[in-house]
Amino acid sequence: MEQRRIGSLGVSLAGLGTNNFGRRMDAAETRRVVAAALDAGVTHFDTADIYGEGRSEEYLGRALGQRRDEVTIASKFGMGDLRGGASHAEWVPGHVEGSLKRLGTDRLDLLYYHRPDPRTPVLETLRVMNDLVGRGLVREIGCSNFTAAQLEEAAGAAREHGLRGFSVVENEYSLLARAPEQDGVLAAASELGMAFVPFFPLASGLLSGAYRRGRPTPHVSRLGDGRPAEQVVSSAHLGAVERLAEYAEARGHTLLELALSYPAAHAPVATVIAGATSATQVRANAAATGAWALTDEELEEVVALVG
C-alpha cells in the first residue's frame, strides 16, 4: 500500500471512512470490516464524534484493540454545534477527551475542525487546537468543509500569531463532485503546503459500479432499495456513470478503479477515505485506490465524459 503524508503523519493511500459504524453497522460488522482493512494494508481511519452518536469511535476503538499503534486515527469536532453559544475554549477539550475515551486511546493522530462556524473566529479555534497538541492529546490538526478563502484566512492567522496551522483539509471530492478543482481549494491547499483528503469519493456509491442501467440497486447501499437504477439515480448522473464505466472497461479497468484513482492522481491528495459496509467492499476499495496511474490526457478525457 502506497504511503503519503499529512504533516508528520504517514497515511495509507487507501483510507477507511467510518460514518457507517454504529449507524448502519453494529460492533461485530465493524470488527470484520476493520480486520479486512488492516489485512489489505489500510492504516488510516477517519471518524467523528457525531458518527453513530459516538458509536463509530467506540466500535472502531474496540475493533482496533492492540493494533491501535499500527494506524493513524482522525476524528472531528464542531459540526455546527456551539453548545448554546459556548466558546470552543470551553467545550472542545471535553469533546476531544470524550473521543479519546470512546476510542480507548491516549491521543488522536489527527483532529479536524468539522465545519467552520461563522460566529467563532478561526484564531480562537486554532489556539484551542494548538493547546491540545501541546498537551499531547493531538498530533496534527486539520479542517473540513472549508473554502479556499477560509484556508487562507486560517493560514494567515496561524502565521501572525505563531501558531501551528492546519496541515490538511477534508472536503467532498469525486468525479461527480469536482468542486475542489473548480473553487480553488485544491490549489490553495497546495500553495499553503497542506494535504487534501476527499470524502465521498464514490459519490455515495454511485461510482462503485453497483448503479447501472437495467440493474436493480443494492438494498445495502446508501441510495439503493432494490428498484431499477433508472428509478433511483438521476438520468444525468446515470449517464455519466455509464460513460465512465465504458471508458474504464475499454482500457482494462473497472469503474471502481477509475473512481478511486481519480482523486488520488491529484496533488495534494494524501489518502482517499471510501466507506465500506462489508469486508468484501473494503478489500475491493483498497485494491482499487491508485490501481490506475491516470495520465494527464486520461484525466482530461474522463472530465469531459462527466460533462
Active site (annotated) includes residue 173: no
What are the boundaries of each domain within the chain?
3-212+256-306
At residue 192, does pLDDT exceed 90?
yes
- Of 51, 112, 173, 262, catalytic: 51
SS3 109: strand
* 99: enclosing H helix or E strand: helix 88-103
Phi, psi of 242 (to 5 degrees): -60, -45
Please tell me the least confidently modeled range out of 90-94, 112-116, 196-200, 277-281. 90-94
Q: Residue written as cell 490538511?
A: 168
C-alpha cell at 183: 473553487
Cα 280 off chain centre by: 19
**pLDDT per residue over 85-141, tens digit each?**
445 667 889 889 999 999 999 999 999 998 888 888 999 999 999 999 999 999 999
Write the single-letter amino acid at 96.
Answer: V
Q: What is the CATH number of domain 3-212+256-306?
A: 3.20.20.100
Contacts of 73 (CB under 8 A, 6+ apart): 45, 47, 60, 64, 103, 105, 108, 109, 110
From the list 193, 200, 223, the residue with the least C-alpha distance to 211 is 223
**pLDDT per residue over 252-261, tens digit each?**
999 999 999 9
| pLDDT of the residue at 45 | 98
**Cβ pair 262, 231 in contact under 8 A:** no
- DSSP tally for the chain: helices H, then strands E: 12, 10
Contacts of 284 (CB under 8 A, 6+ apart): 256
Tell me the average pLDDT of the chain.
90
Write the single-letter amino acid at 222.
Answer: R
**Cβ pair 164, 154 in contact under 8 A:** no
Looking at residue 139, the DSSP 8-state letter turns out to be: E
- Section 174-193 average pLDDT: 96
| pLDDT of the residue at 231 | 41
SS3 138: strand
- Section 237-260 average pLDDT: 94
* Residue 209 confidence class, pLDDT cut points 50, 70, 90: confident
Question: How large a percentage of the chain has pLDDT more than 90?
Answer: 77
Angle between helices 55-64 and 88-103 (to 10 degrees): 40
**pLDDT per residue over 140-166, tens digit each?**
999 999 999 999 999 999 999 999 999
